[in-house]
Amino acid sequence: MQPLSNLSPQPEQSIDIHEQLSKFLKHWKWIVLSVLVAMVGAYFIIRYSVPQYGMSTTILIKDDKKDESELGVFSDLGIFSGKNNIENETAILSSRTLSQNVIKQLGFNVSYFVEGRIISPESYKNSPVKILFVEVNEALFTKDTSFIISPISDNQFELSDILKDHTRKFAFGQKIACSLGTFMVMKSTNHVQDEDVTVRINSVEAKAAQ
């Protein structure tokens, strides 16, 4: 065994920074290319990703309090129970019928898509045109249909089916009668000429199931 007096501390190994950097700089072309590809990929993800909207709310459910002395017998049978009242209200709030009524009133079954070079994103608030229904038929809420609006001037547009086999000219604000009802095509503040807009109308039942 070697005496402790003969032990000497080992010299610390120094790190040559220039040597380490030179190893990476040999592949500087690949590093720059990787950074550029990452930046381009991030741009396209931000530019063409479909935005997701969420919402939340707080609802106060009124619970009618009953006199336990009068309804104590019925509460054992599950009748006139405050808990059941709350469960019933919760079931009504989460029912599909309520969702369908909200979609009808707010027109959420009508979507607008602006044709782009790569994809055709949905224009939630920035659609160049808007559909305004004057008279509504039940088919508006039960059928799925699509058509294309192609502005040709500041006052006129072409209305065609999704395959553009049948095309007719109309004026903005003109009443148009069809199986869905009577509607008008109105220009919005984001109106851009020569920008086709695809209008998709989904059944309320299918929209509520999404």
Q: Are residues 115 and 204 in the same domain?
A: yes
Q: What are phi and psi of 48, to 5 degrees?
A: -115, 5
Residue 191 included in any domain:
yes
- Determine the pLDDT at residue 31: 86
- Determine the pLDDT at residue 148: 92
Residue 126 included in any domain:
yes
Half-sphere exposure of 48 (CA within 13 A, CB side): 12
Q: Are residues 78 and 115 in the same domain?
A: no
Contact in structure between 193 and 151 (CB atoms under 8 Å): yes
Residue 7 included in any domain:
no
Q: Are residues 132 and 87 in the same domain?
A: no
The domain total for the chain is 2
Residue 42 included in any domain:
no
Q: Where is average pLDDT lowest: 57-66, 101-110, 172-181?
A: 57-66
Domain that holds residue 204: 109-208
Residue 51 included in any domain:
no
Residue 66 included in any domain:
yes
Give the model confidence (pLDDT) of 150-181 as tens digits: 888 888 999 998 777 788 999 999 999 988 99
Residue 159 included in any domain:
yes
